Amino acid sequence: MSVRKLKPITPGQRFRVVNGFDAITTDKPEKSLLVPNKRSGGRNSTGKMTMRYIGGGHKKKYRIIDFKRDKAGIPATVASIQYDPNRTAFIALLNYQDGEKRYVIAQNGLQVGQNILSGEAVAPEIGNAMALSAIPLGTIISCIELRPGQGAIMARSAGAFAQLMARDGKFATVKLPSGETRLILVNCMATIGAVSNSDHQLLVSGKAGRSRWLGRRPRTRPVVMNPVDHPMGGGEGKSSGGHPRSRKGIPAKGYRTRTKTKASNKYILERRKK
């Protein structure tokens, strides 16, 4: 994977850094796995805007992704690596031996023609999905379940990965991308390898219009609002707005918002870095 810096023949291209898309093998999605994706534009059922700064954007169809990897023991061949407009990671189209086709999150290093498996007694190779109880300690993993059978919900975005640190009884210790160390049940599934498109963090859009294409409208800074609109608003001229905080007055930097009596606190061994 690589990124490209464009020759600036327009002002919007002067600082723009684009993805090289070296890993992408086709631009034609699998039609049987596409469903319509309706946009709300931040409006509720009565048409009232309830979420600010949302609207417009390019029309997209949703790709149905297999996060559960529940076709155990049936080999699948990677048919293509594709771009998905709904997520930062690339996706892989799998052709199973029984004829079914499914999309999965593509791992870094996954190649077209490669065979991958999921289930028990599977080799810990890139793209294979298996329970945490069967993965060797120290392995880099991604697309991790939090509850057995739930489907992957952690370490799914571009370049994300976690590391399996230890196992003790029915729990495995996993170091998550945020730096948090957490206990997860050993019968939860995870995929071997880091998520693809790790260069995503290096991209630079170059112009405001690209945000509009993504469905993001211009966002008003709190400092330029009036006191009636935001705690950081008001003042004469370009005076700063005091301590950073949200619209409802909750401090934005360093303030811990996690509930101290939350049931899952006992599974967190070490909190994420500040």
Domain match, 101 and 230 both: no
Q: 268 forms bridges with which residues in the sheet? A: 182
Q: How many other β-carbons are positioned within 10 Å of the β-carbon of residue 21?
A: 16
Domain match, 114 and 234 both: no
Q: Give the pLDDT confidence score for residue 12 in this predicted structure.
A: 93
How do residues 125-159 score in pLDDT, each as one tens digit? 999 999 999 999 999 999 999 999 999 999 999 99
Its domain, for residue 233, covers 224-266
Domain match, 41 and 130 both: yes
Q: What is the mean pLDDT of residues 227-246?
A: 90
Domain match, 10 and 116 both: yes
Q: Which of 172, 169, 98, 170 is nearest to 132 (CA)?
A: 172
Q: What is d(CA 191, CA 184) in angstroms, rounded to the nearest whole number? A: 14
Q: Give the pLDDT confidence score for residue 1 in this predicted structure.
A: 63
Q: What is d(CA 229, CA 244) in angstroms, rounded to the nearest whole number? A: 15
The average confidence (pLDDT) of the chain is 95
What radius of gyration, in Å, describes the C-alpha atoms of the chain?
A: 22
- Domain membership of residue 230 (yes or no) is yes
Domain match, 188 and 247 both: no
- Domain membership of residue 274 (yes or no) is no
Q: What is the mean pLDDT of residues 45-51?
A: 96
How do residues 87-124 score in pLDDT, each as one tens digit? 999 999 999 999 999 999 999 999 999 999 999 889 99
Concatenating the DSSP letter of every residue in 47-113 gives S-B-STTB------EEE-B--S---TT--EEEEEEE--TTSSS-EEEEEETTS-EEEEEPBTT--TT
CATH number of the CATH domain containing 248: 4.10.950.10
* Strand order across the 181-185 sheet: 129-131, 189-192, 140-142, 162-168, 171-175, 181-185, 268-270
Q: Are the beta carbons of 49 and 43 closer than 8 angstroms? A: yes
Residue 22 tokens, joined: 């070296």
Q: Does residue 201 register a pLDDT over 90? A: yes
Q: Does residue 225 register a pLDDT over 70? A: yes
Interacting residues of 10 by C-beta distance below 8 A, sequence separation 6+: none
pLDDT band at 14 (very low <50, low <70, confident <90, very high): very high
Domain boundary among 185, 200, 215: 200
Whole-prediction pTM: 0.92
Q: Are the beta carbons of 167 and 186 closer than 8 angstroms? A: yes
Q: Give the pLDDT confidence score for residue 274 in this predicted structure.
A: 66
Q: What is d(CA 235, CA 238) in angstroms, rounded to the nearest whole number? A: 8
- How many folded domains does the chain comprise? 2
Domain match, 77 and 162 both: yes
Domain match, 82 and 150 both: yes
Q: What is d(CA 273, CA 157) in angstroms, rounded to the nearest whole number? A: 19
